Copies of this chain bind each other. A is one copy, B any other.
């Protein structure tokens, strides 16, 4: 909640020294350059197992997704440190601190949004770009106050400080077991000198386009009372869209689009995972589930797809804009549906992400001025398991789903076993990064730390050249 730090760097992983100045249009020769754009696509929890499962189901093992055709690839070591001193490394990130590292280059602890472990705010790429004259936007299939978009739009000590009614002391109710001890949301309240909840920071922030879910949080009354967060956002200049039609009707200006109470509907539904159980002697009690099929979610069309939102965001951000833009697009339910062990859910969400990749790549074309990055914030629980194993001693632990794949005519077996509880957990795997366009290949090393992704975007937008 503290004021902007003069340094972007924590003691750990400090590799950057970026100063920000107010842009001087007409004087700075760089403003005569063609527009520069960054489109960062985050598949939340989109690790290699998730991609392979989606490829196998959607196009078959001999097929190729759009993300597979992006021309440059690296791998990203996810970075997390403990909240408590001495801030040792932790090996599994969440969307809050993973998103913060991507957005700010700062490594922090799980749950934190745009703040260091010392609770100092760290400027994010969206703010840095906006301060230099770029238009900026965020699109997500989650609530726009959820951890990943929040990391690009706000600074709070904990991800659950989403709306003014959520400003709990300490760890909020409902936080998952093992959630680290954090200062809670009270110091982020305006009365305490903070910037308010994530929703309030979005409403009063400088983003040009914010599209996703979140009417639940924006319907809450602002800390000072007298109006909702949505009313505050409209006072601050946002046009509001709440349906595909109202979104489509807006042709220019700032837009806040909220199309669900929280997370948007997913594209596919399908069988729930079956929990494998065993007797005290270790013999399998539960037969493997019969193969099922994914179905189109009949209500999906009532919300704009990720591709529709991204298309609109690009149009709004690029229209009559000689400077360029920064856009973050999050495909949130890759992660959320894996937490819930819904294979068709995360596969359908990967299809949404892949549609966005195709569209964005077509927009970028061969122009190196647009840097397209597709990456993940952390790994997930999903594993593609061996369908050749019958039940009995080869039975996997955890939960299993079996799906008939349309392309291969084969059965795809997917397992989840990171948690005995109601939700799967993240894993600590390195994650993929795929890149199209942008500046020379020197930006892409075959192995990166997560903070390098921020540096790549900052370099492309010249925010570190003052």
- Nearest Cβ on chain B to A85's Cβ, whole angstroms: 12
Q: Residue A225 at the B interface, CB < 8 A?
A: no
A-B contact pairs, 24 of them (CB 8 A): A13-B62, A48-B48, A48-B75, A52-B428, A53-B428, A56-B428, A61-B79, A61-B89, A62-B89, A68-B446, A69-B446, A71-B446, A88-B410, A176-B394, A177-B390, A278-B420, A282-B420, A383-B427, A384-B427, A386-B418, A389-B425, A393-B422, A397-B420, A398-B417
**In the complex the two chains form, is B68's CB within 8 Å of A388's CB?**
no
**Chain A contact patch, size range:** 35 or more
Q: Name A420-437 residues within 8 Å CB distance of B.
A: 420-422, 425-430, 432, 434
Residues from 431 to 453 in A contacting B, C-beta threshold 8 Å: 432, 434, 446-447, 449
If the complex has contacts A420-B397, A425-B385, are A60 and B72 also in contact, measured as CB distance less than 8 A?
Answer: no
Question: What are the interface flags for A95-128 relative to B under an 8 Å C-beta threshold, 1 for contact and 0 otherwise?
Answer: 0000000000000001000000000000000000
* A180 lies within 8 A of B77 (CB): no
Query: Within the assembled complex, what's the spacing in Å between the Cα atoms of A387 and B118?
Result: 21
* Residues of chain A at the chain B interface (Cβ within 8 Å): 12-13, 47-49, 51-53, 55-56, 60-62, 64, 68-75, 77, 79, 82, 86, 88-92, 110, 176-180, 276, 278, 282, 284, 379, 381, 383-390, 392-398, 405, 408-410, 412-413, 415, 417-422, 425-430, 432, 434, 446-447, 449
A386 adjacent to B420 (CB under 8 Å): no
The smallest C-beta distance from A273 to any residue of chain B, in angstroms, reads: 12
Q: What is the CA–CA distance of A30 and B419 in the complex, to the nearest angstrom?
A: 58
Assess the B47–A62 pair: CB atoms within 8 A.
Answer: no
Q: How far is the CA of A395 from the CA of B387 in the complex (A)?
A: 26
Is A425 in contact with B387, judged by CB distance below 8 angstroms?
no
B446 near A91 with CB under 8 A, answer no
B62 lies within 8 A of A393 (CB): no
CB distance from A327 to the nearest CB of B (A): 22
Q: Which residue of B lies closest to A60 (CB)?
A: B89
Question: Nearest Cβ in chain B — how far from A231, in angstroms?
Answer: 38
Give complex CA distance A75, B79 in Å: 22
* A284–chain B nearest beta-carbon distance, Å: 6
Q: State whether B426 touches A386 (Cβ < 8 A).
A: yes
Whether A418 pairs with B383 at a CB distance below 8 angstroms is yes
Q: Are B397 and A397 neighbours in the complex by a CB distance under 8 Å? A: yes
A69 to B70, CA, bound (A): 21
Smallest CB separation, A253 vs chain B (Å)? 38
Are A446's CB and B180's CB within 8 A?
no
* The one of B64, B91, B420, B421 that contacts A384, using a Cβ cutoff of 8 Å: B91
Say whether B387 contacts A92, CB under 8 Å.
yes
In whole angstroms, how far apart are the Cα atoms of A52 and B384 in the complex?
18
Query: Is A420 in contact with B276, judged by CB distance below 8 angstroms?
Result: yes
How long is the Cα–Cα vector from A397 to B381 in the complex, in angstroms? 11
Q: Shortest 3 CB-CB distances between A and B: which pairs?
A: A384-B428, A417-B417, A68-B447
